[in-house]
């Protein structure tokens, strides 16, 4: 198999790897998957967490190994790239659409806007929402609580 085919096969397998806490989103939707390069007989996968130190990265790394192993790619190296830091610009259009449909605000360095009415007037209710990587916020305009996705 040529190097280009190997990388293409790895990308196709990784396109199906979803986020452990937001299973309707893939790591590509989230912009966590940064690159897939041929590395000798295998591949090197670069990933960037949305926030450094996020515990979900361990699970995401394991899921990457499982997906590539299932695709018959035995030699896999997963590299965590912290610079440049992840930004919400890396979310795909599909990823934004899926988050909005689920009523979850995407990660943001500032206070998130309300996913229902788009008001920027929101307050943090709890730093720990339904899952470790989500925080519970409330919109002060429409009074609805919502989850904001804070890390990966």
**Of residues 64, 139, 148, 151, which one binds Zn ion by CB under 5 A?**
139
Q: Which is nearer to Zn ion, 65 or 116 (CB)?
A: 116
Distance CA 10, CA 3 (A): 11
Q: In angstroms, what is the minimal distance from the CB of 141 to Zn ion? A: 5
Helix (H, G, I), strand (E, B) or coil at 3: helix
- The CA-based angle 103-107-108, given to 5 degrees, is 120
| 85, 152 Cβ separation under 8 angstroms | no
**10 lies in the binding site for Zn ion (CB under 5 A):** no
d(CA 25, CA 35): 18
Of 54, 104, 73, the closest CA to residue 7 belongs to 73
Give 8 or 117: the residue with its C-beta nearer to Zn ion. Answer: 117
Q: How far is the CB of 101 from Zn ion (least distance, A)?
A: 16
The least distance separating Zn ion from the CB of residue 64, rounded to whole angstroms, comes to 36
Stretch of 3-11, 35-43, 52-60, 135-143 contacting Zn ion, by CB under 5 A? 135-143
Q: Which contiguous run of DSSP H or E holds residue 69?
A: helix 56-70
* Using rule CB under 5 A, residue 121 touches Zn ion: no
Binders in 78-117 for Zn ion, by CB under 5 A? 114, 116-117
Contacting positions for Zn ion (CB under 5 A): 114, 116-117, 119, 139, 141-142
């Amino acid at each position: 198999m040529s190097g280009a085919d190997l990388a293409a096969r790895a990308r196709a397998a990784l396109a199906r790897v979803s986020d452990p806490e937001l299973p309707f989103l893939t790591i590509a939707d989230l912009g966590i998957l940064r690159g897939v390069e041929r590395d000798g007989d295998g591949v090197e996968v670069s990933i960037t967490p949305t926030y450094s130190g996020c515990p979900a990265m361990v699970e995401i790394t394991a899921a990457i190994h499982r997906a590539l192993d299932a695709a018959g790619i035995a030699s896999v190296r997963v590299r965590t790239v912290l610079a440049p830091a992840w930004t919400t610009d890396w979310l795909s259009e599909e990823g934004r659409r899926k988050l909005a449909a689920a009523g979850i605000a995407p990660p943001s360095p500032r206070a998130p806007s309300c996913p229902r009415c788009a008001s920027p007037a929101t307050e943090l209710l709890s730093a720990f929402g339904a899952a470790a990587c989500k925080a519970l916020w409330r919109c002060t305009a429409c009074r609805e609580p919502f989850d904001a996705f804070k890390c990966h």
